[in-house]
Structure 1
């Protein structure tokens, strides 16, 4: 992610002795993203990813890191957190919580085809099922409560027409979240940020999901909607590509069949997924934090997607 906290090779040379990884050889900041400080870290034993967490606390982080370990133990392709010599997964670096995880092989597929979307859909369903017996609980920290908190922060920066859209959509999602239909949706741990740049491929083979630091417990359908809204669209317009949508949903449905309640909720949840990222990008754009390599994402991208989901019916779940 963006580098808010610079780290040099000298900085990690003594710190890393508590991990069974050997001496550090090289470290390089990762420029994409806007939440944490991430680095590619090469040691005598291999390649890893070092993350310094800029927002999450020492108390919050075990949820994410233990979830990754839980999923990896059940055959879900995710990075493995590395414990230090005390068995700790979170250790202070420059006074902030930090962790090291294994580096996945391959690269992000930024121009996905139906075959890639099918791989993602199947692994996402496998991840949801594998997380059912994960014992820890944490709500989605960028869910409805956060929307209510963040909206007043960004509304003063918005033109009247788009401000009305934001208020109306939050009211719509509020009403839906109180409905009996919403209460019927399957829930459990979700990734909640499964964009193209958070999945690795080696050719057409998916090698792993990563960046679980927006994970929480929410409806599985929300997770599917967030994923479809990124993987299965024309990036310039936000219009859904039916072939990619169908490939992802059919592959997911084969592993974990969708329910009737999910079918009825699909369009609403696509709107919720678009709203969540429109609002977070508005917040990061208008109220940015300083970082060495920070490039805020364009909020209008998800505004377009939200308008498209309000006005145009999506392909059915099944």
Structure 2
């Protein structure tokens, strides 16, 4: 959510005229993240979030926006995309795809306790169930194919120890993804990026998931592993907090019980989730794009998590 494409108040006023939201009153760039240009937009109708998509195409965006609408229509707490007067959810701004969605109440819980993790686990399971009827298909664009394409680009930038870790884990994950165990896992639309800063709370009440622009069809277990690797870790060490893991996974299982395959695949999937974000942070760190506001993430955080998941078994799912 860095700002790659600037938007002035005059720009916003001209663009917002095609929506049933009145006049734009204020626009402010959001500095966190590194994928799209995001802005808080105040209109006569209230507070919204404007996103200009820097990498996704007009052809790709219906999956994300229609998924959010599908989930919102079924009671899942997510931002609702706003259609323009012609019913379109995605329209150009400065020649790039752009959309506007409702702004969630509350703030991110950056020091989660078990009660917050349980709320996330419950809503994640409900989201997975609600997504089963979603008709559009798109793979997780940061899945195994992307990992295999990206690894050769970052390897030249790594010292010998980190390069060996990356190559060894890529070998392990390619074998895991081609196994019968992985093919047996339940699948459907997943968020794939459900970090602490992508969930809103008012006190202990979860008010919504947002930033669905890494979503795709993948295993539900991958989505859960991504979530646990962020919500349930000590940020300084990458060590899992057993109480938070138990709260999140038990709450999930109360809605969607785990299959035997999911229980058996839990350890390698936690490693897969750690690898995915170590790889993306390595790529963004060594091969950055220019932005007006840019907040790069430290790749060593997910390197620590990956090493920890390899060395120490996580709590079992049940």
Alignment of 1:161-240 (within 5 A): 161-240=161-240
Please give the alpha-carbon distance, in whole angstroms, between the structure 1 residues aligned to 2:84 and 2:275. Answer: 39
TM-fit CA distance, 1:279: 0.1
Please give the alpha-carbon distance, in whole angstroms, between the structure 2 residues aligned to 1:12 and 1:278. Answer: 36
Alignment of 1:105-116 (within 5 A): 105-116=105-116
Residue 2 (structure 2) aligns with = 2
TM-fit CA distance, 1:239: 0.1
Deviations 1:281-311 (A, max 9, x none): 0000000000111021000000000000000
Residue 61 (structure 2) aligns with = 61
Residue 102 (structure 1) aligns with = 102
Unmatched tracts of structure 1, length 5 or more: none
Please give the alpha-carbon distance, in whole angstroms, between the structure 2 residues aligned to 1:297 and 1:32. Answer: 10
Alignment of 1:70-149 (within 5 A): 70-149=70-149
Please give the alpha-carbon distance, in whole angstroms, between the structure 1 residues aligned to 2:197 and 2:94. Answer: 27
Alignment of 1:201-280 (within 5 A): 201-280=201-280
Residue 283 (structure 2) aligns with = 283
Residue 151 (structure 2) aligns with = 151
Please give the alpha-carbon distance, in whole angstroms, between the structure 1 residues aligned to 2:269 and 2:50. Answer: 33
Deviations 1:198-255 (A, max 9, x none): 0000000000000000000000000000000000000000000000000000000000
The number of aligned residues is 318
Residue 298 (structure 2) aligns with = 298
TM-score by length of 1: 1.00
TM-fit CA distance, 1:15: 1.4
Residue 42 (structure 1) aligns with = 42
Residue 307 (structure 1) aligns with = 307
Please give the alpha-carbon distance, in whole angstroms, between the structure 2 residues aligned to 1:19 and 1:13. Answer: 10
Please give the alpha-carbon distance, in whole angstroms, between the structure 2 residues aligned to 1:154 and 1:178. Answer: 23
CA RMSD between the two structures: 0.4
TM-score by length of 2: 1.00
Please give the alpha-carbon distance, in whole angstroms, between the structure 1 residues aligned to 2:247 and 2:215. Answer: 24
Unmatched tracts of structure 2, length 5 or more: none
Residue 47 of structure 1: SS of its match in structure 2? strand
The structure 1 segments of at least 4 consecutive aligned residues displaced by more than 2 Å after TM superposition are: none
Deviations 1:152-197 (A, max 9, x none): 1111100011101101101101001111111110000000000000
Please give the alpha-carbon distance, in whole angstroms, between the structure 2 residues aligned to 1:29 and 1:299. Answer: 25
